[in-house]
Structure 1
Amino acid sequence: MNTSLKRFIVKILTLSAAIVLVGWLAFSLFIPQYYLSVFPYALVFFLIVAIAVHTYQLKLAKKDIGKFTRSTMLVTFFKLIVYSVFAVVYIANDPENALVFVIALFFLYLVFSFVEVSEITRISKRKDT
């Protein structure tokens, strides 16, 4: 395992631990009525997808930076499709909690996307120079 991947995994696991801590505080102290049992599974799902996609992108960047650049948009599109399917399946099974679920999913998407994009940008800039 290369250093970039190790660094990303440590960063994303630390971020996930922080999300768990903040979520636990928020849902146990302030808004317990909005807690859904799917939240931990959603976090693990985002974690697995982020690590898998980052691993794939690192391999592409190492082989051919041109191919990496072309495939980034396609990878992002497929991630959105996977996340959308996850959301639709959950909402179809539990429509009364759809709003809370969508807000949590959106939060996870933003946080994980920010970390993924910042890491992959750092790596691609390093490859260009």
Structure 2
Amino acid sequence: MKSFIAKLTVITLAIVLVGWLVFAMFVPEYYLPVFPFLLAFFYLVTIGIHAYQLNVAKKDIGKFARSNMLTTFIKLMMYSIIAVVYIAIDRENAVAFVIVLMALYLIFTFFEVSSLTRITKSKK
């Protein structure tokens, strides 16, 4: 788990650096003040879900598959609700928000899935 958090922190800091470069130099008019909070939210949710899924995988690898599908659905619904609420509040920046949200979702999900895949392969 410590290795996962360390790698996730490095990825998050890389996203902060890339985000700063993109929003400061290329498209400053699309900067979202909510970006740091969104990034922190993804970071914390990813750690929480990963810890939960590790506990399930340790107990029963068969139950892990069902649990993984359920947590993925819940996570997707949670992010969708955040998107709908933000778009309802700030329609002017809706496109930029959706692009940032999708990019963060893809990056964090890819990292989480690849980490879980390595762990479950070693458990078999």
State the partner residue of 2:71: 75
Give the superposition deviation at 1:33. 0.6
State the partner residue of 1:120: 116
TM-score normalised to structure 2 length:
0.98
State the partner residue of 1:100: 96
State the partner residue of 2:11: 15
Give, in whole Å, the separation in 2 of the partners of 1:119 and 1:91.
32
The equivalences for 1:24-63 within 5 A come to 24-63=20-59
Give, in whole Å, the separation in 1 of the partners of 2:100 and 2:66.
30
TM-score normalised to structure 1 length:
0.94
Give the superposition deviation at 1:69. 1.5
5+ unaligned residues in a row in structure 1: which ranges?
none
State the partner residue of 1:111: 107
Instruction: Look up the equivalent residue of 2:8 and give its one-letter code.
Output: I
5+ unaligned residues in a row in structure 2: which ranges?
none
Give the superposition deviation at 1:42. 0.6
Ranges of 4+ aligned residues in structure 1 off by more than 3 Å: none
